[in-house]
Each structure stands twice: as C-alpha cells, then as structure tokens.
Amino acid sequence: MRIRRALTASLLAATALFTGAGAASAGNTGQNGDPTEAGTSFRTATAIKQDQKATADGTTGDYLYWQFPAGAGQRPTARATVKLPEPAARHGAATWQLDVFDGLRRRQACTEGEQTKKVAQQDTTVTLTCTLRVVRPYAERWSGDPLPGAYYVRLTVVDGPDQDMGLPLHAEVEANAEDAGGKYAEGGELGAPLHAGAVAEPEDGWTGSWWSDRWLWTVGGAVLGALLAIGGYTLTRHPHRFSR
C-alpha cells in the first residue's frame, strides 16, 4: 500500500511539473509574438529583437533581465517603463535603475538618458533610458568598448522601503539602435559576435551595412574633383575665352 501511494504521489508530482512547465512556456509570448516574461539572471535573460516591445510581471526587488542584439556602427538605446504598485500599498520613495551589459557581462556606460530615477510614493510609473556608445567592429582585449553581439538589460529597484519588497509590478522594455553614420565607420571585424546564440542577428548583420553616408562624401568629392579638373583644363587650354 505504501509503495502504491508513493508511486501515485510521484505520478501526480510529475504531471503537475510538466503541466506547469507547459503553461509557463505557453505564456512566454503574447498574441503578437512579443515576449511576456523576463529572465531572473544573465543566463535566463529573455531574448528580444530590436524595436520589439517586451512585457513582464514581477515583484519589487527582483532582478529582471532581457537581451537584444546590436551590430557594428549602431548606437543602441534601451528603454524601460515600470507600472509601480498602488501608492496606497507602498511606504515611501524608491530608486529604480536600468543597467546594460555587453556579451562579456561588462557594464556599459550610458552616454544619454536617465538610467537611475527616484520616484515618490504617489508616482504610478517610472521610465528609464540608457543610450550606449557606438558599437565598434573590433577593439583591443583590454578595452571596454561596446562590440557586436548580445546586450543584457537589467531592471531593478536599488533602494526602497523593506515593506515594499515583494509588491507586484508590470514592466515594458524596448531596445532599438540607430545607424551612427560613416563618421564612425572603421575597418576590421571580430571573428564572431559576443555571445549571440540567443538573439537574432540585426537586420544589417553583426558587422554593419556596407553602405554609409561616407560613400556620399566620397562620390561627391570625386565628382567635384572631376569638375574642377575639367574647368582648370578649359581655362588653361583656352584662356582667351575668359579674358574677353
């Protein structure tokens, strides 16, 4: 009898485990395919595409992680909006922070945006942004420059009343990247992107598009040079035409 009960309990536990896993997997994306969950560590960070909006429900005090791709010549920006717990349930002000790390888990500095913000008890939402430096196609080993590959976004509250830890919240995260232009174009490239296994390759590839506004300056300069050469030849060949 004890053996039968043990077997029955094991089967019930296994069924619950697989059922729960299936439900969690089915809840990973919404109707439009956008992610609806966040990871709780670098290893479990939810992968999102550029310009894709991800959402997640969590609790105050948790670390929420996402990852997105960025290629050479792009200037990435991560943005997060948190719908805070009801003001009546909170006990004071809190400070929220958005950090961005590269594929080697090196924290990248923000050149623009407000990545840390203090919110009052009566505030209902908080928006954080972080714009990184332009992604380089390659760099020295000792350098901390951003390189092509996956970038991790981490969202959390860094300071707040202990009584508020564990309260529910809703977060929306989006990452995009603009082309920095030919001014930042440079030769060379990495042999492979930094930890890009979980994210989709950017539209222009990891090494960036072959086209840049530098081509416009090059072609324009060549045309201008040709016109000046023709004008100079005409002036020296037939000076009497211009003297009249």
Question: What pLDDT band is residue 115 in, cutting at 50, 70 and 90?
Answer: very high
Q: Determine if residue 166 is left, alpha or beta; phi over 0 gives left, psi from -120 to 50 gives alpha, anything else beta.
A: left
Within 8 A by CB and 6+ apart from 5, the residues are: none
pLDDT at 108 (0 to 100): 97
Domains and CATH numbers, the chain: 23-219 (2.60.120)
Question: What pLDDT band is residue 228 in, cutting at 50, 70 and 90?
Answer: confident
pLDDT at 203 over 80: yes
pLDDT at 231 (0 to 100): 62
pLDDT at 187 (0 to 100): 65
pLDDT at 163 over 90: yes
pLDDT at 194 (0 to 100): 86
Element (H, E) at 117: strand 116-119
pLDDT at 94 over 90: yes
pLDDT at 29 (0 to 100): 83
DSSP-derived secondary structure for 14-48: HHHHHHHHHHHHHTTB-TTS-B---BSSSTTPEE-
Q: Measured between alpha carbons, how far is 211 from 214 in angstroms, rounded to an integer?
A: 8
Element (H, E) at 224: helix 214-237
Residue 213 phi, psi dihedral angles, 5° rounding: -70, -10
Q: Measured between alpha carbons, how far is 216 from 115 in angstroms, rounded to an integer?
A: 36
Q: Measured between alpha carbons, how far is 229 from 78 in angstroms, rounded to an integer?
A: 49
pLDDT at 227 over 80: no
Query: How far out from the chain centre does Cα 176 lie?
Result: 6
| 27 or 155, greater pLDDT | 155
| Percent above pLDDT 70 for the chain | 72
**Any idea what DSSP says for residue 86?**
P
Mean pLDDT value across the chain: 81
What 116-120 contacts at long range (C-beta under 8 Å, 24+ apart), as own/partner pairs, is 116/158, 118/93, 118/94, 118/159, 119/84, 119/93, 119/94, 119/95, 120/93
